[in-house]
Amino acid sequence: MHLWRPDSAQVASVQVATDKARTAALYRRPSKDFEDQAAHGRPSALHLAQAVPLQGGMPIVHSGHVVGAVGVSGASSAAEDQELSVLAAEAASAAARESGGKAATHFPAGSVAAKFATGGLLHDTPGYKVDAGRRTAPGEVEYHEHVADIMHVVSGTATVVTGGRMIASRAVGPGETRADAIEGGTRRELGAGDVLVIPPGVPHHFTAVSDPFLYLVAKVRD
């Protein structure tokens, strides 16, 4: 077992984080599942043996098996506890895969649902990334010089404008540009099941989205 507590973190978080990790390992699912059950009409979930109904515990999966778990407590919010635990579990799983050579990666439905609850990277490699995208409002114009976005809509609706000329653009990183709006371009209406492929070098702008709009994105470097 590895435990890390920053000097400024409350001491009580040590036991809480441990309990969250134990819950995820014993039940082979995110501890958030029990919080969701208790909050949505199943109070008996509070009495399951050694189950802590608090988000922030995630199982570590390798080759389809739960080999451990990670627990996070004491972040700025419960949602951040969950986000950090997902990232840590993914990093641990990735390290196990790399130590044993290349292998297929399986994400159980529970961990995918947990990631969609907050939005964020599901899988991260040097050549490609898989993002569990979640939007609740329109965003900025995005332009990726070397990255293609392959989007598959899981649920919700959105209006996306692709192409055109960016207005008030600014660089935010190597090969990455953001802008306030697009002049011209092609308007596209997206719904569940749709796929949108945006090649590198094509600006795109979510001008309207449902709350929430969930979509899986494969980001592939050219």
CATH number of the domain at 96, please.
3.30.450.150
175 with 99, same domain: the answer is no
3-state SS of 79-104 is HHHHHHHHHHHHHHHHHHHHHCCCCC
158 with 216, same domain: the answer is yes
92 with 154, same domain: the answer is no
136 with 100, same domain: the answer is no
Largest CA distance in the chain: 59
114 located within any domain: no
Q: Give the range among 15-29, 67-81, 99-113, 159-173 with minimum mean pLDDT.
A: 99-113
In sequence order, the 6+-apart residues with CB closer than 8 A to the CB of 130 are 121, 122, 123, 124, 216, 217, 218, 219
Task: Using a pLDDT cut of 90, give the percent of the chain over it.
Answer: 57
- For helices 109-118 and 32-39, the axis angle rounded to 10 degrees is 70
140 with 212, same domain: the answer is yes
Query: What is the CATH classification number for the domain harbouring 209?
Result: 2.60.120.650
Sign of CA dihedral 219, 106, 124, 128: negative
Q: Give the range among 1-15, 126-140, 143-157 with minimum mean pLDDT.
A: 1-15
Would you say residue 97 has pLDDT above 70?
Answer: no
Secondary structure (3-state) at 217: strand
- pLDDT at position 10: 84
Structural domain that includes position 203: 132-221
The 8-class DSSP code of residue 115 comes to H
Would you say residue 171 has pLDDT above 80?
Answer: yes
157 with 77, same domain: the answer is no
pLDDT band for position 101 (50/70/90)? low
The b/e string for 24-62 (b: 16+ C-beta within 10 A; e otherwise) is bbbbebbbbbbbbbbeeeeeebeeeeebbbbbbbbbbbb
Would you say residue 72 has pLDDT above 70?
Answer: yes
Report how far residue 161's alpha carbon sits from residue 181's, in angstroms, rounded to the nearest whole number.
Answer: 10
2 located within any domain: no
Give pTM, 2 decimals. Answer: 0.57
Chain segment 189-206, per-residue pLDDT in tens: 999 999 999 999 999 999
For all residues of the chain together, what is the average pLDDT?
Answer: 90
- pLDDT at position 5: 82
169 located within any domain: yes
- Structural domain tally of the chain? 2
- pLDDT at position 140: 95
Would you say residue 100 has pLDDT above 60?
Answer: no
